[in-house]
Amino acid sequence: MKPKRHIYILLNKPKGYITSVSDDRKRSTVLDLVNVKERIYPVGRLDYDTTGLLFLTNDGEFSQLLTHPGNKVVREYEVKIDKPLEEKDKIKLLTGVLLEGKPGKFIKMSFFNQKDKKNIIISCEEGRNKFVKRMFRKLGYTVLELNRSTFAGMKLDVPKGKYRILSLKEVELIKQNYSN
| Chain region(s) in the chain for CATH 3.30.70.580 | 8-69+156-178
Write down the pTM of the prediction. Answer: 0.94
| Chain region(s) in the chain for CATH 3.30.70.1560 | 74-151
**Cα(92)–Cα(88) distance, rounded to whole angstroms?**
6
Asked whether the predicted pLDDT for residue 40 surpasses 60, the reply is: yes
Does domain 74-151 sit in CATH 3.40.50.670?
no
Percent of the chain as helix, strand, coil, to the nearest 5: 25, 35, 45
Which residue among 23, 47, 116, 157 is the active-site one? Answer: 47
Strands (E), the chain: 8-13, 41-42, 51-57, 75-81, 97-99, 102-104, 108-113, 116-124, 143-151, 154-155, 163-165
Does domain 8-69+156-178 sit in CATH 3.30.70.580?
yes
Mean pLDDT across 93-114: 94
Catalytic annotation present for 47: yes
At residue 176 the predicted structure's pLDDT band, cuts being 50, 70 and 90, is: very high
More confident call, 11 vs 115: 11
At residue 1 the predicted structure's pLDDT band, cuts being 50, 70 and 90, is: low
Taking all residues of the chain, what is their mean pLDDT, rounded to a whole number?
A: 95
